[in-house]
Amino acid sequence: MITLHLTTCSEGSDEKIIEFLKLFRDATQIVVNRIWSLDTIPSMKTLHKMFYKELRVYGFRAHHAKHVYSYARAIVKSARKRNSKKPILRKLTARIDRYDYKLDLESRTLILKLHNGYDARLSC
């Protein structure tokens, strides 16, 4: 896993990134709640059928939608394995696929592709 420490270089990027992270967390919580109410944890194929179209309506790119339900599945699977309560997501985190960002090392700029066609440009 690679961690980057970045600061924004253009105004407006901060709000869009925070909005995306909140949307990602809230969508993941919705999927966690619905999976938790089921007796067994569905397969990825079943989760795709259950949630893909709904997540696309929220404005997620295809890769983001896939990461939402796969992350939610992992959370529920882990919680059930430990026999714990239903997970409540609080932190703003998102899984980003390699197709959803572009890193330019010369200009030290990271371009993130967010929901609804928004882009965020970040620089070191």
- All residues at 6 or more sequence positions from 61 whose CB lies less than 8 Å from its CB, including other chains: 100, 113, 115
For the range 82-91, what are the long-range contacts, defined as Cβ-Cβ under 8 Å and sequence gap of 24 or more?
A: 86/32, 86/33, 86/36, 87/32, 87/36, 88/29, 89/25, 89/28, 89/29, 89/32, 90/25, 91/25
**Average pLDDT rounded to a whole number, residues 58-86:** 95
pLDDT tens digits for range 80-102: 999 999 999 999 988 888 888 88
The half-sphere exposure of 32 on its side-chain side, counting CA atoms within 13 A, is 23
Concatenated DSSP letters of 58-112: TT--HHHHHHHHHHHHHHHHHHHHTT-PPP---S------GGGEEEETTTTEEEE
Average pLDDT over residues 98-111: 87
**pLDDT higher than 60, residue 12:** no
For the chain, percent of residues with pLDDT exceeding 90: 58
pLDDT tens per residue, range 36-56: 999 999 999 999 999 999 999
Looking at every residue in the chain, the average pLDDT score rounds to 88
Q: Where are the domains of the chain?
A: 7-123
